[in-house]
Amino acid sequence: MAVTLRALQTVVPPTILIQEQVRDIFAAQPGLSRLAQRLVSTSFNVSGIETRHTVIAELTLDNDATEAQFFDARQQLLLVPSTKVRNELYITEATKLFVEAGSRALAACPDIRPEDVTHVVTVSCTGFYAPGPDYMLVRELGLKASTQRYHLGFMGCYAAMPALRTAKQFVEADPNAVVLVVSAELCSLHLRTSSDPDTIVASSLFSDGAAAGIVSARAPLPGEKALGLDLFETVITPVGEGDMAWKIGDEGFEMILSTYVPHIIDEHIEGALAPLFARDASITAQLAAPLSEDTSAVGGSVGARVLTLAPPASLSSVIEHWAIHPGGRSILDKTEAKLGLRTDQLNPSRETLRTNGNMSSATILFVMKYILDDAATADGERVCSMAFGPGLTVESGLMTVIEG
C-alpha cells in the first residue's frame, strides 16, 4: 500500500519585508555596538534572502500607526512588546493561516471531502493557545466532530517531518484514514534588535508562512503529482544541544542559532543519512561505495549503532531531488558540498529561502511543493528530504514522485 502526500499548498501573509530595507533598520537601532552593526550588515547580506513575509502589518516604512506595538515607522524604531502581546497576535493570525492552508489543500483534492478527513495533525513552535489550531481546523473547515486531532508544538524547524511520519503511521494502521497535515509559523513575532550574534542571525533569517497537505492511501488523480512517503529516520548529532535552541522569554521567544550549526551539519550529515539509506535496498544497491558501521557517531556512550556513508557515494545520481530545509545559506552550501550534489538539486531550497526566508517547520513543505510543481519532475523519481532543529536533531525522509 502506497501512502501519499497530496495537494501540497502554501500560504504567506501579505506584508512583504525587503531584506535590504530590514537590514538598514536593524543596523540603525540605538544601543548597538559597532561590532553588532557590522554583524547585522554581514548576516543580512550573506543570508541568500531577498524577501520575507510577516503577519505584522505595521512592519512597513509607510506605516503611520499612532499606537504601534512592534515598529514605530516615524522614528524607525523597533519596539519591544511583551510575550503576551506577541502571542495574542499569534492566536489571531496563525488561525487564519492554518485555516487558509487547510482549506486550499482540501480544495486541491476534489476526490476528498471535508467529512472524509479522519485525522488532523498541526505543527507550530511560534505560539500557543487552546483550544488550538487543530480544533479551529475542525470547526472552520466543517470536519467531523469525531476527527482525531494531534498538535506537534515547540519542536522547531524539523517538526513537519515527524508530522508526515505520524500521518503515514495513521494510514498504515487504517488504510481508510485521511490525514490533514498543516504547519503554520509566525517567526517574525519574535524578531528583535540585539547585539547578541545569535539573535542577529535569527533576525536576518526568520519569517512567516503556512503549508498543508493530505496524507492517505488514495492514489493521485490523472495528471496529479504526489509524493509517496517511503521511509523516515531521526538522528541526534553528538554535539549541538546548545547551538540550536528555542526558549520562552518575557519579551517573546528567544532563538539560539549558533554560527557553528553549519559546521555540525557538515561533520554529521552523512552519518545522519546513512540509517535512512540503509533501509532502502534500491539505494544501497546503487551507491558507489558501501555503507560502513560506526559506533561512535551518535549515542556511542550507550552503545548505539549508526551507519555512516563511506565516500564517495554518488548521491546526486542515485537520488534526483533533494528537499533540504534552508535553515540558512551556509547550511545549504555545506550540504551541497559534503554530499556532492549538483547545483540545480539545491535550487528548490535556495529559491524558497530567497523569496520566503526561513519559516521554521513550514519551510520544508514549501521546498517539496517547489519540486512537485516543476514540470521536469517525473514519475518514479526519488526525493530525499532533510530538516534540522533543536538538539541538534536531523529528520530525514525518502519519498517517490507518483503521477496519477
The CATH number for 384's domain is 3.40.47.10
- Tell whether 300 is covered by a domain: no
Regarding whether 239 and 105 lie in a shared domain, the answer is: no
CB 73 within 8 A of CB 64: yes
Per residue in 257-311, pLDDT tens?
777 788 898 888 988 898 999 899 888 877 755 445 444 444 433 333 444 454 4
Residue 108's Cβ-count burial label (10 Å; 0-12, 13-18, 19+) is: middle
Regarding whether 253 and 114 lie in a shared domain, the answer is: no
**Full DSSP string of 278-314:** HT-HHHHHH-SS-EEEESSSSSGGGT--EEEEPSPP-
Report the DSSP beta bridge partners of residue 18: 51
The pLDDT assigned to 289 comes to: 53
Nearest to 308 by CA among 333, 328, 331, 338: 338
CB 373 within 8 A of CB 227: no
Residue 262, preceding peptide bond in cis (omega within 30° of 0): no
Regarding whether 142 and 269 lie in a shared domain, the answer is: no
Domain boundary among 188, 221, 254: 221
- Tell whether 179 is covered by a domain: yes
Regarding whether 361 and 282 lie in a shared domain, the answer is: yes
For 150, the enclosing helix (H) or strand (E) is strand 148-153
Q: How many residues does the chain have?
A: 404
Average pLDDT for 126-151: 98
- Tell whether 299 is covered by a domain: no
- Tell whether 114 is covered by a domain: yes
CB 155 within 8 A of CB 361: yes
Per residue in 314-335, pLDDT tens?
788 889 999 999 999 999 999 9
For 387, the enclosing helix (H) or strand (E) is strand 382-389
Euclidean distance between CA atoms 122 and 252, whole angstroms? 22
109 carries an active-site annotation: no
Q: Which three cell numbers stand for residue 193?
A: 534588535
Regarding whether 269 and 393 lie in a shared domain, the answer is: yes
Regarding whether 217 and 76 lie in a shared domain, the answer is: yes
Structural domain harbouring 318: 227-294+307-403
Q: How many domains does the chain have?
A: 2
- Tell whether 367 is covered by a domain: yes
Choosing from 109, 125, 157, 384, the catalytic residue is: 157
Regarding whether 215 and 132 lie in a shared domain, the answer is: yes
Question: Where would I find the H helices in 183-260?
Answer: 197-205
Average pLDDT for 36-50: 97
The pLDDT assigned to 302 comes to: 35
The pLDDT assigned to 60 comes to: 85
The pLDDT assigned to 299 comes to: 43
- Tell whether 235 is covered by a domain: yes
- Tell whether 107 is covered by a domain: yes
Question: Which 3 state secondary structure label does DSSP give 397?
Answer: strand
Domain boundary among 221, 253, 269: 221
The pLDDT assigned to 316 comes to: 86
Regarding whether 135 and 18 lie in a shared domain, the answer is: yes
Per residue in 232-266, pLDDT tens?
999 999 888 888 888 899 999 988 777 778 889 88
Regarding whether 153 and 243 lie in a shared domain, the answer is: no
Type of residue at 257: L
The pLDDT assigned to 309 comes to: 52
Regarding whether 164 and 110 lie in a shared domain, the answer is: yes
Per residue in 5-22, pLDDT tens?
999 999 999 999 999 999
Regarding whether 368 and 286 lie in a shared domain, the answer is: yes
Euclidean distance between CA atoms 245 and 252, whole angstroms? 14
Euclidean distance between CA atoms 298 and 307, whole angstroms? 10
Regarding whether 206 and 232 lie in a shared domain, the answer is: no
Average pLDDT for 30-39: 95
- Tell whether 337 is covered by a domain: yes
Domain boundary among 221, 256, 280: 221
pTM as predicted: 0.93
Report the DSSP beta bridge partners of residue 247: 254
Comparing 123-137, 276-290, 362-376, the range with the smallest average pLDDT is 276-290
Residue 312: pLDDT band (50, 70, 90) is very low
